[in-house]
Amino acid sequence: MPHQAHLPKARRFESDQGGLRGALSWLVALILLLTATGAWSQDCAPRIEAVSVLRAAPDIRDPAALPRTGWEPASLPDRWTQRWSDFKGTAWYRIDWSLPCAAQAGNADSAAQLGVALDYLNMAGAVFVNQTLLWRDPSLVEPLSRSWNMPRFFALPSAALRPEGNALFIQVVGASRFDSGLGNLMIASVDAAASHAQNRSFFVRTLPGINLVISATLGAFFLALWLLRRQDSAYGWYALTSATWLLFFSNTVVTTPWPFSTTEGWSRLVTVSMTFFCNALCMFLWAFGGQRFPRLARTLWAVSGAVALLFLFMPPSWYANATRTVFFSCVLLFIAACLQFIVRASRTREIEHLLLAACLVGFLVAAVHDTLLVLGLIGAGSAYTPITSPLITIGMTLILASRFARSVKRAESFNVELEGQVRLARDDLARTLTREHRLELDNVRLSERLQVAHDLHDGLGGSLVRSIALVEQSGQAIEVKQYLSMFKSLRDDLRQVIDTSSSASTTVADTPLQWLAPIRYRFVQLFDELGIDSEWQVPPTWPSPLSTKQLLGLTRILEEALTNAIKHSRATRLHVSLSVQADGQTRLAVEDNGVGFDAAMVSESMLGIGLRSMEARASRIGAEFRITSSCEGSLIEARIDAAPGAGRGAPPDT
């Protein structure tokens, strides 16, 4: 290709190179301009030339009255504990600063509007620019205003400024034992100073206020939960922890020592509340972790009570050392409690324990950092507690809420399970009751059969014995009429058994004679034929009212006793009596002069059916049954109390 063909491309390349060099030149020029502007702006910024401090009389309220000598060089932040070991009173700080650009112009009005941002002054004070008052605390005498954690912003009036040789005079009223002093100070444009003060206020005023509101709300909430669920003590201890934390941490936001008349009174309360906060935190962590240390807990509360009494009565000269001791002890206790729970969580591996342990790690970091900051072991900076405390508190609350929700869910699950168990138990009980009902019916039938058997034995059996004995004792052939009479007697006895077993109600005989007449009639004839003398002793009226059931039972007992006397006693004399005893009991007695028997042996043998029948009948009607027997005779007696409401026509007991 000829050389001319490359010329257009070469020119275009040179043109592109020239445009690039021009853009770079403009960029370099802009950077130099901005750098020069920043340097010029920095050269025109107010400069603090020197800081000095002076202990002064408390009655000096104007910088003009300050002496020119006695000033000591200082640097900000300045703490009295590092300067004066035991000082209480008023100190003045002088901050000399200059306006370079205004000095060059020869007129302070040519400078931009300036402002001052003050991080804090501890405890109360006032701020002057040159001789002009910018601000003064409401109270510079006890009870002192509390500005120790209050960032301040002041706009500097142009009329009060000088082209050169300006000074800020800051009066501070406090004491070394309260860590009084002056914080960092910034002199800049109004916007910059206001922005700095606002940012500082957010961290040291707004965040602590939010923390207090959150703690109060959550503490009240978990107090209510604890009142509803006393068995879960962790909620109660958390509520107490929140309450003591409110009292302790409110020190960061209050501006007066109310209700105390001195700053020292309020400070003592804050120190005591710190000890109770650490104790309550330990109790909460132990309860949440399912641990119990009763001796250690009693020791901690006893020490806290002793600290409270000490701070109530100790002299002011002890305050600094006592506060320092309590502070370090509480910090160590707080760290130990957190570490102990973290170890506990690492062993249990429960999710709630691990989450709370993570929150405690955040607390530990903030506590250690802020402790080093208070001791001055690290440079000036912001405390971590106001920043981390709201977040960690919310995290702990979520953990407790999760635990409560899990408890409620577990209770609901338990209720469902309990309903199922109750349903199964109810079905099982129904089956058991049905089975017992059938057994009861069987027992009733068996009891009725036994009762019929006893009635047959005592009634019809006795009649058969009498008839057999009558036939045996008869020396001649018995006529048909006599047999017919015996059969009719047996029929009457059988009818009586049937009637007494099936009748719903019968009536009581009007007199004992009417009651004994049928029995006496049946047995006396037989006694006469057997040669047995019988004596019947009965009162004309009932000694005490008896029910139908009682009277029927006595009838069967009497019939069986007379039958046994005929069959076994070989007696020649027999005595039947019905009487009333001194204690009001009715006594039925059958006594004979027979050969007697061994009552215990006969009762246990198969031959003792009659005796067991009499005992069973006596037990059913509530009577006392006794048998006394010897070779000279036997005595059978039954004692029974009067039946309530018994009388003529009373229905039988069932």
- Specify the CATH number for the domain of residue 512: 3.30.565.10
Q: Could you report the per-residue pLDDT of 431-444, keeping only the tens digit for each?
A: 888 888 788 778 87
Distance of CA 505 to the CA centre of its chain: 62
| Average pLDDT rounded to a whole number, residues 328-350 | 92
Question: Which helix H or strand E contains 654, and what residues bound it?
Answer: none
| CB of 466 closer than 8 Å to CB of 485 | no
Residue 589 lies in a domain: yes
Which of 162, 185, 200 is where one domain is finished?
200
In this predicted structure, the answer to whether residue 505 has a pLDDT above a threshold of 70 is no
Is this structure's pTM higher than 0.75?
Answer: no
Round the CA-based radius of gyration of the chain to a whole number and report it: 56
Is pLDDT larger for residue 120 or for residue 643? 120
Q: Could you report the per-residue pLDDT of 515-533, keeping only the tens digit for each?
A: 888 888 878 877 887 888 9
| Average pLDDT rounded to a whole number, residues 321-331 | 92
The tally of CA atoms less than 13 A away on the side-chain side of residue 309 is 6
In this predicted structure, the answer to whether residue 161 has a pLDDT above a threshold of 60 is yes
Does 65 lie in the same domain as 165?
A: yes
Give dist(CA 148, CA 77) in Å, integer: 12
pLDDT band with cut points at 50, 70 and 90 for residue 498:
low
Residue 459 lies in a domain: no
Cα angle, residue 403 at apex, residues 398 and 409 outer, rounded to 5°: 125
| CB of 263 closer than 8 Å to CB of 227 | no
| Average pLDDT rounded to a whole number, residues 607-624 | 80
pLDDT given for residue 9 in this prediction? 41
- In angstroms, the Cα distances linking 398 to 30, 58, 356, 403 are 54, 51, 10, 8
Does 134 lie in the same domain as 29?
A: no
Tell me which of 79-93, 347-361, 467-481 is least confident.
467-481
Does 293 lie in the same domain as 242?
A: yes
Does 308 lie in the same domain as 176?
A: no
The CATH number of whichever domain residue 145 belongs to comes to 2.60.120.260
pLDDT given for residue 548 in this prediction? 81
Residue 108 lies in a domain: yes
| CB of 601 closer than 8 Å to CB of 561 | no
Does 396 lie in the same domain as 539?
A: no
Q: Could you report the per-residue pLDDT of 459-483, keeping only the tens digit for each?
A: 666 667 767 766 666 666 666 666 6
In this predicted structure, the answer to whether residue 512 has a pLDDT above a threshold of 50 is yes
Tell me which of 282-291, 335-344, 448-457, 474-483 is least confident.
474-483
At 424, list the tokens.
């199964």
Name the strands in the sheet holding 114-118, side by side, starting at the edge strand that comes first in the sequence: 152-156, 114-118, 185-189
pLDDT given for residue 475 in this prediction? 60
Non-local (6+) Cβ contacts of 112 within 8 A are: 189, 190
pLDDT given for residue 23 in this prediction? 55
Residue 492 lies in a domain: no
Note the residue count of the chain.
Answer: 654
Residue 369 lies in a domain: yes
In this predicted structure, the answer to whether residue 72 has a pLDDT above a threshold of 90 is yes
| CB of 257 closer than 8 Å to CB of 266 | yes
In this predicted structure, the answer to whether residue 600 has a pLDDT above a threshold of 80 is no
CB atoms within 10 A of CB 570: 14
Does 648 lie in the same domain as 510?
A: yes
| Average pLDDT rounded to a whole number, residues 532-541 | 88
Give dist(CA 571, CA 85) in Å, integer: 124
Tell me which of 111-125, 338-352, 505-519, 551-565 is least confident.
505-519
pLDDT given for residue 61 in this prediction? 87
Residue whose entry in the numeric block shows the structure tokens 């309450």:
243
Does 143 lie in the same domain as 100?
A: yes
| Average pLDDT rounded to a whole number, residues 197-206 | 91
Helix 548-564 to helix 461-473 angle, to the nearest 10 degrees?
Answer: 30
| Average pLDDT rounded to a whole number, residues 538-545 | 84
Does 213 lie in the same domain as 170?
A: no
Helix, strand, coil share of the chain (percent; to 5)? 60, 15, 25
pLDDT given for residue 7 in this prediction? 34
Give dist(CA 619, CA 625) in Å, integer: 8
Which residue, 92, 110, 93, 115, is CA-closest to 164? Answer: 110
Residue whose entry in the numeric block shows the structure tokens 């408890």:
407
| CB of 506 closer than 8 Å to CB of 548 | yes
**What integer best gives the mean pLDDT of the chain?**
81
Residue 171 lies in a domain: yes
* Domain hosting residue 85, numbered range: 45-200
- Which phi and psi (to 5°) does residue 73 adopt? -65, 145
Q: Could you report the per-residue pLDDT of 270-306, keeping only the tens digit for each?
A: 999 999 999 999 999 999 888 999 999 999 999 999 9
| CB of 461 closer than 8 Å to CB of 562 | no
Which residues are paired to 640 by β-bridges?
Answer: 586
Residue 481 lies in a domain: no
Give dist(CA 224, CA 239) in Å, integer: 9
Does 589 lie in the same domain as 566?
A: yes
Does 224 lie in the same domain as 336?
A: yes
SS3 (DSSP) at 563? helix
Which of 396, 414, 432 is where one domain is finished?
414
pLDDT band with cut points at 50, 70 and 90 for residue 541:
confident
Give dist(CA 293, CA 164) in Å, integer: 68
pLDDT given for residue 437 in this prediction? 78
Give dist(CA 130, CA 617) in Å, integer: 122
Please tell me what DSSP assigns to residue 3.
G
Give dist(CA 599, CA 604) in Å, integer: 9
Give dist(CA 203, CA 390) in Å, integer: 12
pLDDT given for residue 192 in this prediction? 93
Our count of domains for the chain comes to 4
pLDDT given for residue 650 in this prediction? 39
In this predicted structure, the answer to whether residue 90 has a pLDDT above a threshold of 50 is yes
Name the strands in the sheet holding 88-98, side by side, starting at the edge strand that comes first in the sequence: 72-73, 47-56, 88-98, 166-175, 124-129, 132-136
Which residue, 228, 266, 221, is CA-closest to 243? Answer: 221
Q: Could you report the per-residue pLDDT of 38-49, keeping only the tens digit for each?
A: 444 456 778 899
| CB of 236 closer than 8 Å to CB of 223 | yes
Is pLDDT larger for residue 281 or for residue 385? 281
In this predicted structure, the answer to whether residue 651 has a pLDDT above a threshold of 50 is no
Tell me which of 114-128, 162-176, 558-572 is least confident.
558-572
Residue whose entry in the numeric block shows the structure tokens 């702006």:
41
In this predicted structure, the answer to whether residue 560 has a pLDDT above a threshold of 70 is yes
CB atoms within 10 A of CB 576: 22
Does 21 lie in the same domain as 132?
A: no
| Average pLDDT rounded to a whole number, residues 83-110 | 76
Which of 369, 388, 414 is where one domain is finished?
414
| CB of 583 closer than 8 Å to CB of 601 | no
Give dist(CA 521, CA 523) in Å, integer: 6
Which residue, 595, 620, 615, 619, is CA-closest to 603? Answer: 615
CB atoms within 10 A of CB 417: 10
Non-local (6+) Cβ contacts of 194 within 8 A are: 115, 117, 153
Residue 281 lies in a domain: yes
Helix 207-228 to helix 233-249 angle, to the nearest 10 degrees?
Answer: 150
Non-local (6+) Cβ contacts of 455 within 8 A are: 497, 500, 501, 556
Question: Which helix H or strand E contains 401, and what residues bound it?
Answer: helix 385-455
Is pLDDT larger for residue 5 or for residue 394? 394
pLDDT band with cut points at 50, 70 and 90 for residue 13:
very low
What's the per-residue H, E or C state across 515-530? Answer: HHHHHHHHHHHHHHHH
Residue type, 393: T
Non-local (6+) Cβ contacts of 299 within 8 A are: none
Does 391 lie in the same domain as 255?
A: yes
Give dist(CA 567, CA 574) in Å, integer: 13
